[in-house]
Amino acid sequence: MWAGGFPPYVADARGARLTDIDGCDYVDLCLADTGAMTGHGPPVVLAAVREQCERGMTTMLPTEDSVLVAEELARRFGLSRWLFTLSATDANRSALRIARQVTGRSKVLVFSYCYHGSVDEAFAVRDPDGGTVARAGNVGPPVDPALTTVVAEFNDGRSPACSPSRP
């Protein structure tokens, strides 16, 4: 949900600043997921992306760089296995599958109107009676989100309908 009638349309983003199509400037306090890693369009990142694009971008096969990155992540964080994803949706879908495998639980908890990628079961909101319903715009979810998801309002102090003893 966006505060107000509509979101600003971005014309330009650099560093931690945005300019909308009306010429208004903003400090980007969210930095739109990936922008949070480096800011918007820093020259060193643009140069690295340009260099990689010249060698190929979508081979969907391992590269020497993927081995180097995996080794560095293992060194830094002490985990020997890594799963690389390309979007919030892919990352959340993988996290949900792994969590279900590890916990044996079928339901997940999400907050109303928080963005968790476009995974159907995370594209759910809490209705006025405390139940789970598909978020407006989630056209034709393959499974009723109420079967897989419990929704809570962020920071409202109420317990969700699913307790730790219930799947």
Per-residue pLDDT, 2: 54
Q: For residue 157, tell me if it sits in a domain.
A: no
Per-residue pLDDT, 158: 62
Per-residue pLDDT, 165: 45
By annotation, the residues acting in catalysis are: 115
Single residue among 12, 41, 56 that ends a domain in this structure:
56
Range of the domain at 123: 88-152
Q: For residue 116, tell me if it sits in a domain.
A: yes
Per-residue pLDDT, 32: 62
Q: Do 94 and 49 share a structural domain?
A: no
Per-residue pLDDT, 101: 92
Q: For residue 77, tell me if it sits in a domain.
A: no
3-state secondary structure the chain: CCCCCCCCCEEEEEECEEEECCCCEEECCCCCCCHHHHCECCHHHHHHHHHHHHHCCCCCCCCHHHHHHHHHHHHHHCCCCCCCCCCHHHHHHHHHHHHHHHHCCCCEEEECCCCCCCCHHHCEEECCCCCEEECCCCCCCCCCHHHCEEEECCCCCCCCCCCCCCC
Q: For residue 82, tell me if it sits in a domain.
A: no
Q: Do 93 and 141 share a structural domain?
A: yes
Per-residue pLDDT, 166: 42
Overall number of domains in the chain = 2
Q: Do 45 and 92 share a structural domain?
A: no
Q: For residue 83, tell me if it sits in a domain.
A: no
Q: For residue 145, tell me if it sits in a domain.
A: yes
Q: Do 95 and 51 share a structural domain?
A: no
Per-residue pLDDT, 167: 45
Q: For residue 62, tell me if it sits in a domain.
A: no
Walking along the chain (167 residues) 10 residues at a time, the average pLDDT comes out as: 72 90 88 72 91 86 86 93 83 89 89 78 85 80 77 70 45
Q: For residue 158, tell me if it sits in a domain.
A: no
